[in-house]
Chain A
Amino acid sequence: SQKIEQNSEALNIQEGKTATLTCNYTNYSPAYLQWYRQDPGRGPVFLLLIRENEKEKRKERLKVTFDTTLKQSLFHITASQPADSATYLCALGRTGGSYIPTFGRGTSLIVHP
């Protein structure tokens, strides 16, 4: 069966460090992978997109890598701040022919001052 796996345990890090979140998938051939941020009681907010033919994307303090051989994406936040504390969701497009994003459960990031 198709799965998108994100670490269910919260990631706790100190302010200023780099946070690295992982998204693994099985039985998908995604055309793209997206990362969203979700704050409690709010809707997801789009952060970054990376396509299947791209290895890495950057935006300010954010970096995403995409390894279609390992079936894995890593999401990095450098120089993390307490304001970065949130749940981060990965979403894949093209599942059984559909481009509609399918979400993982997300990983909670807590940045301690």
Chain B
Amino acid sequence: EPEVTQTPSHQVTQMGQEVILRCVPISNHLYFYWYRQILGQKVEFLVSFYNNEISEKSEIFDDQFSVERPDGSNFTLKIRSTKLEDSAMYFCASQLGGSGANVLTFGAGSRLTVL
């Protein structure tokens, strides 16, 4: 069964450092998402991406965050200068098409720990 693949599975970084989280969505999917989940909290939407541009973003997705699809397969989330409160599990998800019901396939997540 097709999967969304995320790397790294766990990253530890110092506050103020840049982090790039990588995702390989399912190959024929068109919509891509990043969500995050702080330990013990709910899964929160960060950003959606379609046709090589951001289609929607939440208040969490401020200027410290950026997304990119540098080639035909990878989808990356960059945090420019990490803060302690960025420590969370980051999930990439992809969706086949715009059916209006947005069934998402999630990756296993990248755990980010900011010290």
Interface stretch, picked from A36-44, A60-68, A77-85, is: A36-44
> Which residues of A sit under 8 angstroms from B56, Cβ to Cβ?
98, 100
> Which residues of A sit under 8 angstroms from B102, Cβ to Cβ?
32, 34, 93, 99-101
> Which residues of B sit under 8 angstroms from A51, Cβ to Cβ?
101
> Which residues of A sit under 8 angstroms from B48, Cβ to Cβ?
100
A23–B35 Cα distance when bound, in Å, is 20
Known pairs A32-B101, A49-B103, A100-B48; A43 contacts B108 (CB<8 A): yes
The verdict on A103 contacting chain B, using a C-beta distance below 8 Å, is: yes
The verdict on B75 contacting chain A, using a C-beta distance below 8 Å, is: no
> Which residues of A sit under 8 angstroms from B105, Cβ to Cβ?
46
Q: Number of residues in B with C-beta < 8 Å to the partner?
A: 24
For residues 59 through 115 of chain B, which have their beta carbon under 8 Å from a beta carbon of chain A? 89, 91, 93, 100-109, 111
> Which residues of A sit under 8 angstroms from B42, Cβ to Cβ?
89, 103-106
> Which residues of B sit under 8 angstroms from A10, Cβ to Cβ?
none
* Consensus secondary structure, chain B interface: strand
The answer to whether A102 touches B45, judged by C-beta atoms less than 8 angstroms apart, is yes
The verdict on B54 contacting chain A, using a C-beta distance below 8 Å, is: no
> Which residues of B sit under 8 angstroms from A99, Cβ to Cβ?
100-102
Expressed in whole angstroms, the minimum distance between the Cβ of B54 and any Cβ of chain A is 12
A93–B104 Cα distance when bound, in Å, is 12
The answer to whether B45 touches A100, judged by C-beta atoms less than 8 angstroms apart, is yes
A34–B105 Cα distance when bound, in Å, is 12
Query: Which B-chain residue is minimally distant from A97 (CB atoms)?
Result: B56
> Which residues of B sit under 8 angstroms from A93, Cβ to Cβ?
100-102
The answer to whether B100 touches A43, judged by C-beta atoms less than 8 angstroms apart, is no
5 contacts between A and B (CB under 8 A): A43-B4, A44-B43, A44-B106, A46-B105, A89-B42
Apart from A43-B106, A49-B101: 7 A-B pairs, beta carbons within 8 A: A41-B108, A44-B91, A46-B103, A89-B42, A93-B100, A101-B102, A103-B42
On B, residues with C-beta under 8 Å from A are 4, 33, 35, 41-45, 48, 56, 89, 91, 93, 100-109, 111
